[in-house]
A and B are shown apart, each in its own frame.
Chain A
């Protein structure tokens, strides 16, 4: 678990700023998308999900945006805190099949 996150793209933000983590998905017919947060040595933790019939969904301090035209998904975290430091990854589901997971982005929050 401690080795998870090597060679990942990294986003570094200042505490209190907003973070935007991006994800390009592969299949234009994917109907469901989900974001997870994973801290070192731990299992992924659900953040938020969205179906393809929506463009935006909001949770507590997080917003997911879906742009089907360019097959792009983004996760916005408001007022980023040190506890938000982790690896974030998205997953897509195509035609009711299994989720396909991306490699992830490491978010580092500077105090």
Chain B
């Protein structure tokens, strides 16, 4: 089955710890995105990448980092600099670079211990 796979589904972070969320897609999509979702709010863009080895900051990039070494993979690291990391994180992809019809993964719920 083609799709976007996010792992883990639940993740817990200790104080001062960096954690990495995985996102893999086998749709052969060029563009990939990371969004953060907080209760009652719209999705907010953290980072996006339109091509391998290139990525751009979104609206709330501070405290996060990404890499795009392979077309199918776009991991997100939540660093210790992110002081309020508890949220639902969503990875998405789209076939072209027009930012239309994003396909989303099933999400990772990150909580702080």
Interface, chain A (partner B; CB < 8 A): 1-8, 32, 34, 36, 41-46, 49, 89, 91, 93, 96-104
Contacts and interface: CB of A to CB of B under 8 A. Distances in A.
Contacts of B88: 1, 3-4
22 contacts: A1-B107, A2-B109, A3-B88, A4-B39, A5-B40, A6-B39, A8-B40, A32-B100, A34-B101, A34-B102, A41-B107, A41-B109, A43-B6, A43-B107, A44-B104, A46-B101, A46-B103, A89-B42, A99-B99, A99-B100, A102-B42, A103-B41
B90 interface: yes
A44 B99 contact: no
B42 A104 contact: yes
8 tightest CB-CB pairs across the interface, nearest first? Answer: A101-B42, A43-B104, A7-B40, A6-B39, A101-B43, A43-B106, A3-B39, A44-B104
B105 interface: yes
Contacts of A3: 39, 88
B39 A43 contact: no
B95 to A, nearest CB: 13
A97 B99 contact: yes
B45 interface: yes
B42 A103 contact: yes
Contact of B102 (A2, A6, A97, A99): A99
Most buried by B among A1, A7, A49, A101: A1
B58 interface: yes
A4 to B, nearest CB: 6
